[in-house]
Structure 1
């Protein structure tokens, strides 16, 4: 493999690993949310607000990552 091919392969593996990690986190959130909200009678508006809050947090993390900041 050439140096470029090795570099491309590295980033492909890194992206795949990050995608799997994100999918796992989303799945865990869904399972946890489903278990904790079963029978609580949460309305659709409350769930929409939780989704909006999670989206705001994700955007903040993406902005920090794009600026080169530590996202931990």
Structure 2
């Protein structure tokens, strides 16, 4: 999962730096940025939780350590 964070970061940079004039494409780029930012926050939270508490080995344990709701941007 650690390797996915840079990949998501590149998507954010690429979408943010693109010279987009079409409002439809701009909207999509902004949605991509928001989703990628949210997913990075979720991955970082999961990595910290796993480091601190270990891997959740059952659905019951995972439900007790549910990922918080994050937002992008």
Question: Is residue 21 of structure 1 aligned with residue 37 of structure 2?
Answer: yes
Q: CA deviation at 1:46?
A: 4.5
Larger Rg: 1
- Give the TM-score normalised by the residue count of structure 1: 0.51
Note if 1:49 corresponds to 2:69: no
Structure 1 SS opposite 2:46: helix
Structure with bigger RCO (C-alpha 8 Å, 6+ apart): 2
Counterpart position of 1:8: 24
What is the distance in 1 between the residues matched to 2:37 and 2:29? 12
Per-residue deviation at 1:43?
A: 7.5
- Detail structure 1 runs of 4+ shifted over 2 Å in the superposition: 42-47
Q: Which has the higher helix share?
A: 1
**RMSD after superposition:** 3.0
Unaligned runs of 5+ in 2: 1-20
Figure out how many residues of one structure are paired with residues of the other and give that number: 50
